[in-house]
Structure 1
């Protein structure tokens, strides 16, 4: 896996950002059955940074916790067979990887949501990575049924990694 991290706000946690992000991302891809070389970009920003991105790309002028920008267009979530058809758009010949997409995480929300939900910042960060990775694999939560599927998958990944709600 090729994983790029841009920490725009120089966020510091009591865990290694890249290590947790890569561990969770790999677990999601393994659980979903993707066995190729994936390229993922992660940006850590703050309320202002994510609000600007949210406004520009989603026309929502407010901060959020995480944004996901998948490169692959799926017919069915987790069906990676579509990659072959889209290879010209998602294949990076420089490192022979499939560009899955970008994740943007709001440092402030990692901290505030960890407090709100009564778990560690590491668990909140890992949850946001898992959630976003599932979006990069084509999942969504627009309906109750879709949300149940995503929630179960997120829980499975984090439980398998032993990253629980402490």
Structure 2
């Protein structure tokens, strides 16, 4: 089950389309869909989570709490809409494309992909691009 929660004035248009897409991402990695909760928020909200749970006093676009067990993908994915907007401007891309990248990024972490090394980051970026392409299929 995929759910979308809002702690800011932002809301996804056509949640069903995004729900189907996230399911496709999980299926494409030969995983099983568990409970995925997306929480869209602002910088301040996510900063508090970052400090409280990770002891990081920095802004970030995403924090994910992974409850995956084996192939059953589950977790809470917090996304700062403000940070995604700023990143989209910095990377000269559309907001919605950057949002899809971040949404896919959280799921890919649950599937076992990392991004701490250059090699891992390159693979993660490649996977993100593949998953974004699934959106309109």
| TM-score normalised according to structure 2 size | 0.87
CA RMSD of aligned residues (A): 2.1
Aligned-partner Cα distance in 1 for 2:118–2:88: 24
Structure 1 segment 24-103 matched on structure 2, within 5 A = 24-34=21-31, 36-72=32-68, 82-83=70-71, 98=72, 100-103=74-77
Mapped to 2, the partners of 1:135 and 1:109 lie a distance apart of 19
Give 4+ residue runs of structure 1 displaced > 4 Å after superposition: none
Q: Which runs of 5+ in 2 are unaligned?
A: none
TM-score by length of 1: 0.73
Structure 1 unmatched ranges of 5 or more: 74-81, 84-97
What residue in structure 2 maps to residue 109 of structure 1?
A: 83
Relative contact order (C-alpha < 8 Å, sep 6+): which is higher?
1
Seen in structure 2, the aligned counterparts of structure 1 residues 124 and 152 have a Cα distance that, compared at 3 Å, is same
The structure that has the greater radius of gyration is 1
- Displacement, 1:37? 4.0
Q: How many residues align?
A: 137
> Any conservation in 1 of the 2:67–2:74 contact (CA below 8 Å)?
yes
